[in-house]
Structure 1
Amino acid sequence: MSKLTLVELSDLPRKPHGCPPEVERSWARLVAAHKSVAGLFTTFNELRAAQEDMRGAISETHRDQARAAIVFTAAGIDACLRTLLRDSLHTLLSTSGDAHGAFVSHFMRSRLNGEMTKATKKAVVDIDPRSALIDLYVEDLAGSSIQGATDLTRCRNALGLEKDPALDDAILNGHQPFFNARHEVVHELDLVDPSGKGSRGRRHRDIAAVGAQCDGALQLMHAFIAPTARTVKAARRTMGWDTP
């Protein structure tokens, strides 16, 4: 085992102090995703250690563990951000601030400018229009899944975190290669030419690089969760709600 370079995740930072209920579920999803991905890398390390020659080439079976880690990490990001948006926006949008400004701007620009769509009309006349509009907002922000830096930026702005230095544009753009890899694995099975023309070998993935990408993406979720917990607590105090 001494000759083997381990692929491991960094520990998550501590749970936000006094974590409000609006953030609890997102935090739980992050912890679960981190545990699942860490388990995949543990299995990968054990498989490598069991090889007769640990210095030999990494097999496709081993690389599939890394591909699975990319998919699990991406699923964790989707779960964390969707839950964070759905649970926290109800509170954040009850006070004036950056999150409320982003909400108003989005609807004025995208859904209330010109003829309203059927989905918008249905939300407006819902028995709970605010909740219905927030659900619509989350779908607009995240789509079918988080696809890259553009989606991360929309989620950041929706949470009122545009000015947070840990989530600036350069940092979010730096995670685009991870999302590119996720697309290649999920939609192309990592085939070099999924169209069937020319070579159809599978992409070579540097395992250490995959580990770093997954680790960075999961750590980024904490960078979303921690400041959201703070702004939610501030909103609760403004409205005179009890906070944990």
Structure 2
Amino acid sequence: MGGNGYTSIELTPLWSKPRGSAVTHAWRFLTAAHQSVQGVFDGLALVRSAKQQASGRDARGRLGRDETDLLRAAIVFTSSGLDASCKRLLRDTVPLLIEGNADAARKFNDYVKLELAEGPSAPLADAILSPTPREEMIRLYVAARTKASFQGSGDLKSRLRDTLGITNAQISHTRLKQLDDFFKARNAIVHDLDYEDPSSSRGTARNTRDLAGVRQQCDDALALVSEVISQTAANVRVLP
């Protein structure tokens, strides 16, 4: 609680950076995202403080439209940070992991077999015919895993966790599913401006967002990225 009678929102501090240069850039992206989201929450606290001082009334309670939009911005910043950090992590570590992590190698082999079974695409054919076919196929594989934003726990499992060779014992699917509400909120905001019924020609009601709920969603998402980076660093460190 702030001294002016409004509630500040503090994200859980990030862990220390995991050992290993392979995850350095991904961790920097995560740190920047964490700072940006905290900045949005700090801005919201200032807005609420200013309103309280102007009105002389306790600003706690139902949020105004501008305040709720700041919560929506926090979700979008968190989503962008998750995408940027995880995609960089994949690009920087998957080529290493494929060569020494059995789980990561198996997922790569499954990808190549599936692509061949469906009929080699022009890019895959070019990769096979190149002077360095394995290197080029790995490049295509990483590009396929990083071409789109992450949309839910299924994406996090198949395109992130499994691709990195992270086992269910390290990060369970149940843990990943905890972010489904976050992704639902993110998609409603990004695709439909957070309207409850975007297909309606008359309805203008928007989904409600509350301080504690959004803070928890953002905190959980950023914490998961931290866990993924840490587990990936651990997997890289034990490579032969």
TM-score (norm 1): 0.88
Runs of 4+ in 1 over 3 A off after TM superposition: 125-132
Q: Is the 8 A contact 2:30 2:85 kept in 1?
A: yes
Q: How does 1:52-131 map to 2 (within 5 A)?
A: 52=52, 53=57, 54-109=59-114, 111-126=115-130, 128-131=132-135
- Matched residue, 1:241: none
Distance 1:196 1:22, change over 3 A: same
Question: Structure 2 residue aligned with 1:173, among 174, 177, 201?
Answer: 177
Q: How does 1:185-196 map to 2 (within 5 A)?
A: 185-196=189-200
Distance 1:51 1:136, change over 3 A: same
What SS is found at the alignment partner of 2:206?
A: coil
Taking every aligned residue pair, what percent have the same amino acid on both sides? 35
**Structure 2 residue 201 is the aligned partner of structure 1 residue 233:** no
Cα RMSD (Å) of the superposition? 1.7
- Matched residue, 2:10: 8
Q: Which amino acid aligns with 1:39?
A: G
- Work out the CA distance in 2 between the residues paired with 1:191 and 1:127: 52
What SS is found at the alignment partner of 2:207?
A: coil
Shift of 1:126: 4.2
- Work out the CA distance in 2 between the residues paired with 1:99 and 1:135: 14
Q: How does 1:127-166 map to 2 (within 5 A)?
A: 128-154=132-158, 155-165=160-170
**Structure 2 residue 20 is the aligned partner of structure 1 residue 27:** no
**Structure 2 residue 71 is the aligned partner of structure 1 residue 43:** no
Q: Is the 8 A contact 1:23 1:225 kept in 2?
A: yes
Q: Which amino acid aligns with 1:72?
A: F
Q: Which amino acid aligns with 1:83?
A: R
- Work out the CA distance in 2 between the residues paired with 1:56 and 1:212: 18
Residues 36-67 of structure 1: CA deviation (Å, up to 9, x unaligned) = 11111111111111212313531111111111
Aligned residue pairs, count? 232
- Work out the CA distance in 1 between the residues paired with 2:103 and 2:225: 20
Shift of 1:131: 4.0
Q: Is the 8 A contact 2:101 2:165 kept in 1?
A: no
For structure 1, which runs of at least 5 residues remain unmatched after alignment?
Answer: 239-244
